[in-house]
Structure 1
Amino acid sequence: MAFLTTPENPHLASTPVLYGAPLAEAALVVYAVHGRGQGPGFMAEQADRVDLPGVAWLAPQADADTWYPQSFLAPLEQNQPRLDHALSMVRSHLADLGRLGWPQRDVVLFGFSQGACLLSEYLLRDQPPCAGAFIHTGGYLGPEDRPRAAVQGSGLPGTEIVLLCAEDDEFVPLTRVEKTAGAFASLGARIELTTYDDPVHHLNDDSIARLRRMLRSRLLERVEVITDPDHDN
């Protein structure tokens, strides 16, 4: 079954890249969203660094390598319509995964930089029942004084969300990451926020170790569920 592509949405013009374990054989799926100026290959490199068998990595490709044109701190209208296109793409890919037997509750969301911002916005707007989220160097979109929309969904009760950022990142203010963590916590998510005295805009070795630990924990949980004799799926 193919993933939906449509010329009406430039971010859905190409099929996402599947890396690692085949979906039919995987024990866990990671939806991995790259940053500005990057592509699925960058997320595949991180998958190689994590080096966990049994994980399928699904990495979408942004049109022109950019999810939206302006800074994530700009007024929302300055990033339209590309922001809505990008959010629609995330929803479409996760729905396609569901049709392939991977409901959102079994998918970990992983975003870096602009991809982390996009997934932060998606999590706050949709509050999906995902297996967890790893948000590296990013936060929700809009200016500092942007009012947060009223909660429309059921929240994120118990969802593990790991946020990481340098104390002095060139593109992402730590204060925005902290506010994003607070917004997630207000929806019931379990938050782990780590800061680094490391100005380089990248995933350092400690970040990769934390991602590996999170995914290994989800893998163990999945194995326990699948081997449970009372499990009906």
Structure 2
Amino acid sequence: MHSKNIQTAGRSLKEAEKVLIMVHGRGADAEDILALASHLNVASYALLAPQATNHSWYPYSFLMKPEQNQPWLSSALDLLKDLVEDLIQQGIAAKNIYFLGFSQGACLALEFVTRNAKRYGGVAAFTGGLIGDEINSSNYSGDFNGTPIFIGTGNPDAHVPLDRVKETVALLEEMNASVHLEVYENRPHTISKDEIDWTNKLIFKD
């Protein structure tokens, strides 16, 4: 199970009006994803990056039946829920909480916000989609109320099929998210400068 190990950077929570939760990918760690902040317009944000036990949020592909990734998947979602609840108790409004993730971290971030949809500051998902062998709409509730969401992905991608990304976008839009999808032909499994530029333009505007 995941312990509550949160790495921090940027402004302190007492100083910052906005908070960015950064979720690393499989095999990476919190420091890796925090390093991405130097390319984002988040100088005024508090940055929080949870660390997955053994560098993985769940053991198998995000396309497996969810029960095969338990109890790790539920533990990871609970960790994000606890983190968001802590922030709200400290006076940070949901509209000032942002999410960013890459690969496994993008899948987890998308899964969390869609299960708990409300007006967040924004979401940047670099190569990710909703989790499960199929999308079970009964898992998701709430209203994004215009939350801006950027999703970038390669086609093909070794881990995340474009069809799942498009299914994810459709559900997010049904729940009133403002989604921008960029598909990069034959791009490797990485984060491109173009994705960073789009994210700064759409999500981190100040």
Scaled to the shorter chain, the TM-score interval is over 0.9
1:122 partner amino acid: F
More strand by share: 2
| Structure 2 unaligned blocks of 5 or more | none
For the residue of structure 2 that corresponds to 1:171, the secondary structure is: coil
Runs of 4+ in 1 over 4 A off after TM superposition: none
Cα offset for 1:51?
5.4
Cα offset for 1:198?
4.2
Q: Which residue of 2 aligns with 1:163?
A: 151
Cα offset for 1:26?
2.1
Residue 103 (1) aligns with residue 93 (2)? yes
Distance in structure 2 (CA, Å) of the matches to 1:127 and 1:88: 15
Q: Which residue of 1 aligns with 2:182?
A: 194
2:136 partner amino acid: P
1:113 partner amino acid: S
Cα offset for 1:120?
1.4
1:91 partner amino acid: K
Q: Which residue of 2 aligns with 1:148?
A: 137
1:147 partner amino acid: N
Cα offset for 1:27?
3.8
Q: Which residue of 1 aligns with 2:77?
A: 87
Number of residues of Structure 1 aligned to a counterpart in Structure 2? 206
For the residue of structure 1 that corresponds to 2:137, the secondary structure is: coil
Written as runs of structure 1 = structure 2, the 5 A alignment for 1:1-233 is: 10-11=1-2, 13-50=3-40, 52-144=42-134, 146-149=135-138, 152-153=141-142, 155-217=143-205, 219=206
Distance in structure 2 (CA, Å) of the matches to 1:118 and 1:157: 21
Q: Which residue of 2 aligns with 1:4?
A: none
| Structure 1 unaligned blocks of 5 or more | 1-9, 220-233
Does the Cα contact within 8 Å between 1:170 and 1:199 map onto a contact in 2?
no
Identity of counterpart residues, as a percentage?
Answer: 33
Q: With CA pairs under 8 Å and 6+ residues apart, which has the higher RCO, 1 or 2?
A: 2
Distance in structure 2 (CA, Å) of the matches to 1:100 and 1:150: 28
Taking structure 1 as the reference length, the TM-score comes to: 0.83
Does the Cα contact within 8 Å between 1:94 and 1:103 map onto a contact in 2?
no
